[in-house]
Amino acid sequence: MTASLTGTRIWLTGASSGIGAALADELADRGARVAISARRVDRLNEVSGGRMKSVPLDVTDHDAVLAAAEDVRDEFGDIDYAIFNAGAWTQTKIGHWDADAFRSQVEVNLLGTNSGIAAVLPRMLERKAGTIVIVASVAGYRGIPSAEAYGATKAALLNLAESMRADLAPTGVQVQWVSPGFVRTELTDANDFPMPFMIEADEAAAIIADNLGSGRPEVVFPLPMAVSMKLLRLVPQRLWTHIWSRQSSLR
**Which tens digit of pLDDT belongs to each residue from 132-185?**
999 999 989 988 888 899 999 999 999 999 999 999 999 999 999 999 987 776
- Predicted confidence band at 191 (pLDDT cuts at 50, 70, 90)? low
pLDDT digits (tens, 9 = 90+) for 195-225: 556 788 999 999 999 999 999 999 998 887 7
Please tell me the total number of residues recorded for the chain in this structure.
251
Average pLDDT of the chain, as a whole number? 91
Q: What Rg value do the Cα atoms of the chain yield, rounded? A: 18
User: Between β-strands 131-135 and 174-180, what pairing exists: parallel, antiparallel or unpaired?
Assistant: parallel
Q: Give mean pLDDT, residues 15-21.
A: 94
In angstroms, rounded to a whole number, what is the distance separating the alpha carbons of residues 219 and 52?
Answer: 25
Residue 95: pLDDT over 70:
yes
Question: Out of 150, 177, 182, 221, which one is annotated catalytic?
Answer: 150
Annotated catalytic, 141? no
Kindly report which listed range (34-43, 159-168, 187-196, 232-241) carries the lowest average pLDDT score: 187-196
Domains of the chain: 9-247 (3.40.50.720)
Supply the pLDDT for residue 169. 98
Of 225, 217, 218, 177, the residue nearest 199 (C-alpha): 225
- Predicted confidence band at 19 (pLDDT cuts at 50, 70, 90)? very high
Kindly report which listed range (22-31, 169-178, 183-192) carries the lowest average pLDDT score: 183-192
SS3 content of the chain, % helix, strand, coil (to 5): 50, 15, 35
Percent with pLDDT over 90 in the chain = 72
What is this structure's pTM?
0.91
